């Protein structure tokens, strides 16, 4: 019984022994081919020397690096949506549950709810001027509806007389006949053309007379007149404040003051509009800095 079983074992051992040299030859030829192919790549010699030195010094490190490379290749090769396609990451709902969720869902409004009654702005009755007559509609009252108790076209005696500060002619000087006559006389004498600063033929004798009159009225030695309020503010501030000075300003000042402060190139300390506690903290901080650096006011 033992003779028949020993023959196959010897045959299997002989076949493995004959196959092993062939595998070694195939591996060596493949390795040589791979080495010859990679040697043509720039920088491959440096990589090969690193791999050989690393394998000789620490074979375990080579195995670990191969495992890491295999893990990276496997991660990128496998489908990232496999779990999603299988449905494991989703909760399956019945048709009834879906209908209940849809019924309970309330979309958010794109705009705030409109008021029930519309508040119309004041309406000017008659001609627009420095002191127009204005009607203030009650909530829900349309001033342009002819069925309302007043008519915007014929209600001359209705409404309230107010001062129109939205107009440049709020003082009503544009329609003053005396001012018109003076303007015509000035045009005939001086003509029209470009204006400029006092040192560049932009100032006439009437300007200087006006400056003297204003100085006498204010009881000051002299005044300077600007053509516009914006240029006044943006020019006066840089005249008194220079680089290195400190300006403490409210964030709510108008645009002309902001530009004047910026042009001065001073150190600006802003505080929120009307926040006097913040103003006090800034002033105390400046006082401490003056003592520390021995600055003079």
Across 149-163, 187-201, 213-227, the highest mean pLDDT is recorded for: 213-227
Which range has the worst mean pLDDT, 39-43, 196-200, 215-219, 284-288? 196-200
Mean pLDDT of the region 272-294: 88
pLDDT at res. 155: 46
Residue 292 lies in a domain: yes
Residue 89 lies in a domain: no
Same domain, 234 and 288: yes
Residue 8 lies in a domain: no
- Please state whether the predicted TM-score (pTM) of the whole model is above 0.85: no
Same domain, 216 and 270: no
CB atoms within 10 A of CB 91: 6
Rounded distance between C-alpha atoms, residue 93 and residue 74, angstroms:
34
Residue 283 lies in a domain: yes
Same domain, 206 and 234: no
Across 1-15, 45-59, 70-84, 101-115, the highest mean pLDDT is recorded for: 101-115
Domain region containing 198: 173-225
Using 50, 70 and 90 to split pLDDT, how confident is the model at 3? very low
Q: Each residue of 212-222: pLDDT tens digit?
A: 999 999 999 99
Using 50, 70 and 90 to split pLDDT, how confident is the model at 201? low
Same domain, 221 and 236: no
Mean pLDDT of the region 51-71: 74
Same domain, 215 and 266: no
Same domain, 177 and 202: yes
Q: How many distinct structural domains can be found in the chain?
A: 2
Same domain, 208 and 245: no
Average pLDDT of the chain?
76
User: Does residue 281 or residue 129 have the better pLDDT?
Assistant: 281
Residue 254 lies in a domain: yes
Say if CB 282 and CB 268 are below 8 A apart.
no
Which range has the worst mean pLDDT, 129-138, 205-214, 217-226? 129-138
Residue 166 lies in a domain: no
Same domain, 236 and 252: yes
Same domain, 269 and 212: no
Residue 191 lies in a domain: yes
């Amino acid at each position: 019984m033992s003779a028949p079983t020993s023959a196959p074992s010897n045959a299997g051992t002989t076949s493995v022994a004959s196959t092993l040299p062939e595998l070694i030859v195939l591996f060596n030829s493949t390795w040589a081919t791979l080495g010859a192919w990679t040697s043509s790549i720039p920088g491959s010699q440096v990589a090969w020397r690193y791999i050989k030195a690393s394998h000789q010094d620490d074979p375990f490190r080579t195995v670990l690096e191969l495992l890491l490379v295999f893990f990276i290749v496997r991660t990128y090769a496998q489908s990232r949506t496999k779990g999603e396609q299988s449905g494991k990451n989703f909760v399956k709902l019945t048709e009834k549950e879906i209908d209940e969720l849809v019924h309970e869902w309330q979309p958010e409004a794109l705009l705030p709810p409109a008021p029930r009654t519309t508040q119309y702005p004041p309406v000017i009755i008659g001609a627009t001027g420095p002191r127009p007559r204005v009607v203030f509609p009650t909530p829900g009252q349309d001033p342009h509806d002819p069925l309302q108790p007043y008519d915007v076209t014929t209600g001359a005696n209705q409404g309230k007389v107010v001062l129109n500060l939205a107009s440049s002619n709020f003082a009503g000087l544009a329609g003053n006949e005396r001012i018109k006559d003076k303007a015509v006389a000035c045009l005939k004498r001086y003509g029209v053309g470009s204006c400029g600063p006092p040192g560049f033929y932009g100032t006439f004798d009437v300007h200087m007379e006006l400056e003297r009159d204003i100085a006498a009225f204010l009881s000051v030695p002299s005044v300077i007149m600007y053509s516009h309020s914006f240029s006044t503010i943006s020019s006066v501030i840089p005249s008194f404040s220079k680089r290195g000075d400190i300006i403490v300003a409210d964030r709510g000042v108008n645009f002309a003051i902001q530009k004047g402060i910026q042009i001065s190139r001073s150190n600006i300390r802003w505080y929120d509009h009307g926040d006097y506690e913040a103003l006090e903290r800034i002033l105390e901080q400046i006082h401490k800095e003056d003592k520390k650096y021995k600055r003079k006011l």
